[in-house]
Every structure is written in C-alpha cells, then in structure tokens.
Amino acid sequence: MSAAPATTGLTARGSASAGSAAAADPVGCSTLEEVYRRCRDLGMRLSRQRRMVLDLLWSEKSHLSARDIFEKLNDLGRNIGHTSVYQNLEALQSAGVIECLDRASGRLYGYRSDPHSHLTCVESGAIRDLDVELPAELLRQIEQHTGYCIESYTLHLTGRPRR
Ligand SMILES: [Zn+2]
C-alpha cells in the first residue's frame, strides 16, 4: 500500500498527474525560461511585446486584466499599445502558456498554466493562487460516483480575512 498523504495541506500541487494535450510538458511551466522555451517549441514568435507581457505576468504573479497589464507596462516606460497587449494575451492563453480566468468583470490573466486552485477575497476581490491536494480517498469516491478517472481539478474558494 502506498503512503499517499491524505491531507488537505495547501502546499502540494493540486493535480492528480494531469494528462493534458501538451504531452511534452503536462504540468505546466515552472520558470520564465521554460515558458520562453515552450513558446519556441510551439512555434510562437517571441516578439519584444510578447516577452514584455510574459515578463510582467511573471514579475507580478497575480491575476490581471488586459487593462491592468497595459497600464503597468506603460508605467514602466514600456512602449506597447493596448491592442498588442490584448492580442499577445489571447495568443498566449489559447496556446496554454498562461492562465485565463473568466470573471463577471472580464478576463483576468495569470502566469501559471498548471492546474491550481484560487481563493477570492469577498471584500477586496483579490485572487490568490493555492495548491490544494484533495485526499486520495475523496478522489477515489468521486471516481466511483462518476465513473470518471480524475486527471486534474481546480477549486474555487471564496472567503474573507479572519479577524
Ligand atoms: Zn491562478
């Protein structure tokens, strides 16, 4: 019997060995250099503007709208148009290089492309990335109940700061 830790700890990757289409890199990218390499492998041109967008997402490590990204790049003195920001974000997210969250207020983009969970603050709207590992027993029950083999999962949690 394997010793799979049946904890609800928030440190391990929230993925049950995700078998995604990108067989070469099924768990996403862990460094900006790997993201660059992955873009090249996908045949995506790494234009100056595309690198600007990726660099910003990786330095911010949060979930930003196209407008946020445009404004932050311009605040940094980077010469990039809104249309270019938007087109690069769409290209990167449709290639699975970055994440995209569809929220009522619009799309938000994040640097991670591997399966992970989110905690949204109901007071500020801030979204945190979380790595939640469901207990193996719970996953087994879900598989029995649905007849599906669970490959990955994403939890959406909401909460407010504890006082
Ligand atoms: Zn995220």
Domain of residue 121, residue span: 32-159
Length of the chain: 163
Q: Look up the pTM and report it.
A: 0.75
What pLDDT is stored for residue 18 in this prediction?
A: 40
The answer to whether position 4 is within a domain reads: no
At 23-81, the pLDDT tens digits run 344 445 578 999 999 999 999 999 999 999 999 999 999 999 999 999 999 999 999 99
Give the residue with greater pLDDT, 13 vs 120: 120
- Give tens-digit pLDDT for 92-131: 999 999 999 998 889 999 999 999 999 999 999 999 999 9
Residue with token string 């460094």: 31
* 47 Cα: distance to centroid of ligand 1 (angstroms): 24
Please check whether residue 15 lies inside any domain of the structure. no
CATH assignment of the domain containing 79 = 1.10.10.10
Tell me the CA–centroid distance for residue 83 and ligand 1, in Å.
23
20 contact partners, CB below 8 Å, separation of at least 6: 26, 96, 152
**What integer pLDDT is reported at residue 104 of this predicted model?**
86
Domain for residue 26, yes or no? Answer: no
pLDDT of residue 28: 53
Calculate mean pLDDT across residues 126-144: 96
Q: Which residue has the tokens 């911010």?
A: 60
Taking the centre of ligand 1 as the mean of its atom positions, its distance from the CA of residue 93, in whole angstroms, is 12
CB atoms within 10 A of CB 60: 15
Give burial (CB, 10 Å; 0-12/13-18/19+) of 123: exposed
- Cα(2) to centroid(ligand 1), Å: 30
How many domains, in total, are found in the chain?
1
For residue 7, tell me if it sits in a domain. Answer: no
Span from the CA of 145 to the centroid of ligand 1 (angstroms): 28
